[in-house]
């Protein structure tokens, strides 16, 4: 039995050693699952989540809101595709989730996004601030952060599977990637990944024609909402003071990238309804 556990652990270690890649900012990333596999599994998790929300009638269909979010995300994705050609064939889509209490938004591998009505209404966000949120979330996908999240979940699952093998419990050996894809919707990104998404996101929004100053006002609003207990969206983010200083320092550089005229969206975005 010890020999079996040793073989499993050795396989896990070998996987961890060879599974390294580099993020858009030059950071070394540990990958157990490939970005391509993350996209496949994320699609399944996303569709399952959307089906559940549809059954609960939680998907917003109001034409004004839909048009607003579709325009903002369309402009951001146009820039994302221009700078990251590998995302050109992603199935870009966005769901607007009717949840007045949740301050959150996300983008999975493959460009499947969601934003909650609560973050828009509670913070009284303008279009520039929404663009900063969605630019940040899109950056998570572009930097393969979903694959990183899934890799962490798989690493844990591998350990559980090793125990299952040792105890002859085959029921523990579940589909690692399917579990990880579901967990990627729930697990927070690391602080390093959040800082990376801040940097990529503010540039993406600026190139799409949205005011970079909105990145600062957005987080000021988020921090005020937090009180003694920060919103879920801020749970693993860098400290508020450091974040604002970092973003503020980037504003002059980003303003130089800001186009003189507002760019129209070129890439079509599917609205999940």
Residues 237, 136: Cα–Cα separation, whole Å: 12
**Catalytic positions, written as ranges:** 137
Q: Which ranges of the chain does DSSP label H, i.e. alpha helix?
A: 2-18, 35-55, 63-83, 117-122, 127-142, 145-166, 176-184, 191-207, 213-226, 240-257
Rounded Cα distance, 70 and 81, in Å: 16
Tell me the CA distances in angstroms from 198 to 152, 191, 192, one per residue in order: 21, 10, 10
**Sheet containing 93-97: order of strands:** 105-108, 112-116, 93-97, 270-272
Cα(155)–Cα(171) distance, integer angstroms: 18
- Three-state SS at 174: coil
Find, among 113, 112, 109, 111, the residue nearest to 150 by Cα: 109
Q: Whole-angstrom Cα distance, residue 18 to residue 147?
A: 15
Q: What are the φ/ψ torsions at residue 95 (nearest 5 degrees)? A: -110, 140
């Amino acid at each position: 039995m010890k020999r079996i556990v040793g073989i499993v652990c050795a396989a896990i270690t070998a996987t961890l050693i060879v599974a390294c890649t580099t993020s858009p900012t030059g950071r070394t990333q540990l990958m157990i699952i490939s970005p391509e596999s993350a996209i496949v599994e994320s699609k399944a998790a996303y569709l399952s989540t959307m089906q559940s929300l549809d059954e609960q009638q939680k998907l917003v269909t109001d034409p004004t809101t839909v048009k607003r979010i579709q325009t903002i995300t369309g402009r951001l994705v146009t820039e994302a595709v221009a700078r990251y050609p590998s995302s050109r064939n992603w199935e870009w889509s966005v769901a607007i989730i009717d949840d007045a209490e949740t301050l959150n938004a996300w983008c999975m591998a493959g460009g499947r996004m969601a934003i909650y009505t609560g973050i828009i209404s509670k913070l009284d966000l303008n279009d520039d601030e929404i663009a900063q949120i969605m630019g940040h979330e899109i950056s998570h996908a572009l930097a393969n952060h979903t694959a990183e999240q899934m890799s962490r979940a798989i690493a844990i699952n591998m350990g559980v599977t090793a125990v299952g093998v040792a105890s002859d419990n085959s029921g523990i050996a579940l589909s690692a990637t399917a579990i990880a894809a579901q967990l990627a919707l729930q697990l927070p990104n690391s602080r390093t990944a959040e800082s990376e998404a801040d940097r990529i996101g503010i540039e993406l929004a600026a190139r799409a024609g949205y005011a970079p100053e909105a990145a600062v006002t957005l987080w000021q609003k988020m921090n005020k909402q937090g009180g003694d207990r920060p919103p879920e969206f801020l749970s693993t983010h860098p400290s508020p003071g450091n974040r604002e200083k970092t973003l503020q320092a980037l504003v002059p550089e980003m303003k130089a990238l800001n186009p003189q005229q507002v760019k129209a969206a070129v890439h079509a975005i599917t609205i999940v309804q």
